[in-house]
Amino acid sequence: MAVIGTASKTKASGKSLQSRHVSKAYPGWFYAPAAIIYGVLFLLPTLLSFFFSLTRWTLFDWEFIGFDNFLQFFSEPFLIQGTFNTLFFAFFTSGTKVVLGMLLAIWLSGPVFAKGYLRAVIFFPVLVSTVGVGITFKELMQPQDGVINASLSFFGIEGPGWLADPGMALFSVAIVDVWRGVGIATVIYLAGLAAIPQEYTEAALMDGATKLKKFRHITLPLLFPATSTVIILSLIGGLRSFDLIWAMTKGGPGFASDVLASIIFKQYQAGFYGLSTAGNVVLFIVVTAIVYPLNRWLNKREVDY
């Protein structure tokens, strides 16, 4: 499963052909078209970002100002809040997707009536436009006349302000993100479950293991590769998340649901290109500092199993 595993496990096998043949059959120029596009439009801008984050920049003209942009970034309370919001959003959505995705997959891989329908309906939100989902839930979550609170009040419950409440807004968006993305996690777990050899579970049941024990000692460890894939993919997605937040709150009310990606966009819109790029560098550091070691650690554990 280890989609994101490093190549260590995929060593080129065998040396039955002479290297001359190898280089002919697997020519280096196969890399070329991809490498050019990737190099020019991804690597080059990434390297440039380190330089431009140290400038005041108008796109036509720049002035070198050292670390002023970063000082600015960390002197404004809403930018710091945005960094914490990013972390909360990523860890909350990623963690919830792991738990819900695993439970749903285990449930849906067992004997369940209308299994095909259930799988399809859970996956369906993945296909719908994120902006469309955002617009829809924005109205469903209206504090006064939205469908959610109208239904809650039918049961005598007074619903929260959702997106209107500064303390709730980010959490509300995070719930919608889980709703939208849990289908992908479920599918990855279903694939992981399908790959567990039947003999393991049968052997365990023969030994008289309880269901809980079977889950703890067989299913959970064998699902580890799936888990690490879900964690890494949803964490990367969560840390960089923009579309849903922008469609639902634009970072508001005020700055209450701002994340790094929305801050970067707002600085860009305001024409603060250097500051926006500094925000990008901060995001780069946050994402890399979390995901890279985590990925290594997960890969190591995976090999151990």
Partner 1 sequence: MKREKLIFTYLSGILGIIVTAVLFVVPFIFIIFTALKTKGEAALLEFSPPTEIRFFENLVEVIQARDFMVITAFINSTILTVSSVAALVILGAMVAFVLQRRMTKFNGLINALILAGLIIPPAVVPTIWVLQGLGLFKTLHGLIFIQIAFGLSFTTLLFRAFIASIPKELDEAAIIDGAGPLKLFFRVIFPLLKSVIFTVIILQSIFIFNDFQNPLYFLPGDENATVQLTLYNFQAQFNTSFNLLYMNILIITIPMLILFLLFNNRIVSGMTAGAVKG
Partner 2 sequence: MTSLRSRKAMTAIAGFTVAAFALSGCASGDSADSGTSTDTGSSDSGSSSEPVELSFLVDNSDQTVGTAEALASAFTAQNPNITIDVETRPGGAEGDNIVKTRLATGEMTDIFWYNSGSLLQALNPNDTLVDLSGEDFMDNVNEAFIAGVTSGDGVFGVPAQTAMGGGILYNKDIYAELGLEVPVTWDEFMDNNAAIKAAGYDPVIQTYGDTWTSQLLVLADYHNVEQANPGWAADYTANEANYSDTASARQGFDRLQEIHEAGYMNSDAATALFNDGLAKLALGEGAHYPMLTFAVSTINDIEGGDVEKIGFFAQPGDSADSNGLTVWLSAAIYMPQTTEGAEREAALQFMDFVASAEGCAAITEGVGQQGPYFINSCTEVDESLSSPIRDMFPYFETPGATTPALEFLSPVKGPALEQITVATGTGQYTAEEAAALYDEDVKKQAQQLGLEGW
Tell whether residue 4 is a contact of partner 1 (CB under 8 A): yes
Of the candidates 125, 166, 221, 237, which one interacts with partner 2 according to CB under 8 A?
166
- Taking CB under 8 A as the criterion, which residues in 56-95 touch partner 1? 57, 59
Residue 58 site contact among partner 1, partner 2, none (CB < 5 to 8 Å, cut-off depends on kind): partner 2
The maximal CA–CA distance of the chain, rounded, in angstroms, is: 77
Interface region with partner 2, contact rule CB under 8 A, candidates 8-16, 69-77, 110-118, 176-184: 69-77
State the minimum distance, in angstroms, from the CB of residue 65 to partner 2.
Answer: 8
Question: CA–CA separation, 187 vs 193, rounded Å?
Answer: 10
- Taking CB under 8 A as the criterion, which residues in 179-238 touch partner 1? 179, 187-188, 190-192, 194-195, 225, 229, 236
Contact 94, 238 (CB under 8 A): yes
Q: Report the residue number, 170 or 235, with the smaller CB distance to partner 1.
A: 235
Contact 134, 179 (CB under 8 A): no
Q: Report the residue number, 73 or 89, with the smaller CB distance to partner 2.
A: 73
- Taking CB under 8 A as the criterion, which residues in 255-294 touch partner 2? 255-256, 266, 269-272, 275
- Taking CB under 8 A as the criterion, which residues in 92-131 touch partner 1? 107, 111-115, 117-131
